[in-house]
Amino acid sequence: MWNYTDKVKEHFFNPKNSGVLDSANAVGEVGSITCGDALRLMLKVDPDTQIIQDAKFQTFGCGSAIASSSALTEMIIGKTVDEALTLTNRDIAEYLGGLPPEKMHCSVMGAEALRAAIANYKGEAWEDDHEEGELVCKCFGIDAAMIERAVTVNGLTTLEEVTHYTKAGGSCQTCHEKIEEVLEEVLAKTGALKPAKKHTPGTVGLDAIKPLEPKAEPAAAPKLTNVQRMQAIMSAIEEMRPQIQRDGGDVELVDIDGKDIYVRLSGACSGCSQSAGTMMGVQMKLVEKLGEFVRVKPASLMPAHAG
């Protein structure tokens, strides 16, 4: 059972302004039939004052769709067309005391019907560019279509970046598998791991969602080529081996994956309670040598496809 507010219930069980408005001079029809929503909004606008004198709706949809439509008409009657245009879907949701994240699209439909109706009044063409997909992140109400858009527009390649740009997966973290699936699909479609384009925050979908601040890049050291960098890592590890071997152990470089350096500890090191300390030591040495931040990880943590 959905957790609807009393306000939503009030507008669902006793909707205001439902039905046909015969004197309408502006009509907006929007909908997403696959999602089970469709809304016809009818307005009567006074041509002299531009004030919306009356509004009625007809809605095919669930409880919150009907409540959102009813709330919308109450909110816009008496406003001028321009005042009404400043309303966003969040205003509708707030008016209703909030909607479950799965139901935010109902408020979006209301806001779009309003824009469609006003475009119709002004004689402009109006196109619905709103897309919806499966809801992925329930904490922030982010759907698959929005993640796809964020990934494509910004050239994102990792789960972390998706979280930074859309907030998806940033709270309870239970949707990480789904986010990675969306990510994989998009990357597979776009010919995959192209170098990430310059990140341009703010170009993603719903305007109300602002990207988190990207992490500050560490101060740029003299830029090494990939070959130089690899050689530097290899020689740093070689330098450390004699010391580790004196304790009866050994360390071996297994792979370099961007900022992740995978090593294998062997001999006395494997299973030793100090091995985490040894890893930290290797990491500090590498950070110092390379002048950039890297993470040293045990080879056992390598992603399966690389192993």
Partner 1 sequence: MSQGIYLDNNATTRVDPEVLQEMLPLFTEHFGNPSSMHGFGAAVGGKIEWARKQVQALLGAAHDSEIVFTSGGTESDNTAILSALEAYPKKREIVTSVVEHPGVLALCEYLEKKRGCKVHRIPVDKRGNLDMEAYRAALSDQVAIVSIMWANNETGTIFPVEELARMAKEAGALFHTDAVQSVGKIPMKLADSAIDMLSLSGHKLHAPKGIGALYVKRGLRYRPMLRGGHQERSRRAGTENAPGIVGLGAAAQLALVHMGDENTRVKALRDKLEQAILAAVPSCFVTGNPDNRLPNTCNIAFEYIEGEAILLLLNEAGIAASSGSACTSGSLEPSHVMRAMGVPYTAAHGATRFSLSRDTTEEEIDRVIAVVPGIIAKLRSLSPYWQQEAGKPKEFAPVYS
Active site residues: 35, 106
Q: Which is nearer to partner 1, 117 or 261 (CB)?
A: 117
Helix (H, G, I), strand (E, B) or coil at 46: coil
Q: How far is CA 238 from CA 134, 253, 283, in A?
A: 50, 9, 13
Is position 62 annotated in a ligand binding site? yes
Binding mask 140-179 for partner 1 (x = CB under 8 A): ---x------------------------------------
Per the CB < 8 A criterion, the answer to whether 48 and 118 are in contact is no
| Torsional class of 27: left (φ above 0), alpha (ψ -120 to 50), beta (otherwise) | beta
In this chain, which of 11, 40, 44, 164 binds partner 1, going by CB under 8 A? 40
Q: Does 132 bind partner 1 (CB under 8 A)?
A: yes
Is position 137 annotated in a ligand binding site? yes
Is position 172 annotated in a ligand binding site? yes
Distance CA 200, CA 179 (A): 20
Q: Does 303 bind partner 1 (CB under 8 A)?
A: no
- Cα angle value 76/78/84 (rounded, 5°): 40
CA-nearest of 279, 283, 260 to 270 is 279
Distance CA 278, CA 265 (A): 9
In this chain, which of 26, 32, 81, 161 binds partner 1, going by CB under 8 A? 32
Binding mask 41-80 for partner 1 (x = CB under 8 A): -----------------xxxxxxxxx--------------
In this chain, which of 21, 24, 26, 30 binds partner 1, going by CB under 8 A? 30
Give the interface size with partner 1 as a residue count (CB under 8 A): 42
In this chain, which of 5, 16, 18, 75 binds partner 1, going by CB under 8 A? 18
In this chain, which of 21, 104, 118, 135 binds partner 1, going by CB under 8 A? 135
What are the strands of the beta sheet with 260-267, ordered from one edge? 249-257, 260-267, 295-298
State the nearest-atom distance from the C-beta of 117 to partner 1, in Å: 12
Spell out a b/e string for 214-241, using b for 16 or more CB atoms within 10 Å of the CB, else e.
Answer: eeeeeeeeeeeeeeebeeebeebbeebe
State the nearest-atom distance from the C-beta of 155 to partner 1, in Å: 24
Q: Does 110 bind partner 1 (CB under 8 A)?
A: no
Distance CA 161, CA 180 (A): 11
Token couple for 184:
């994989």
Q: Which is nearer to partner 1, 36 or 78 (CB)?
A: 36
Indicate the annotated binding residues.
35, 62, 106, 137, 139, 172, 175
Indicate the annotated binding residues for Fe cation.
35, 62, 106
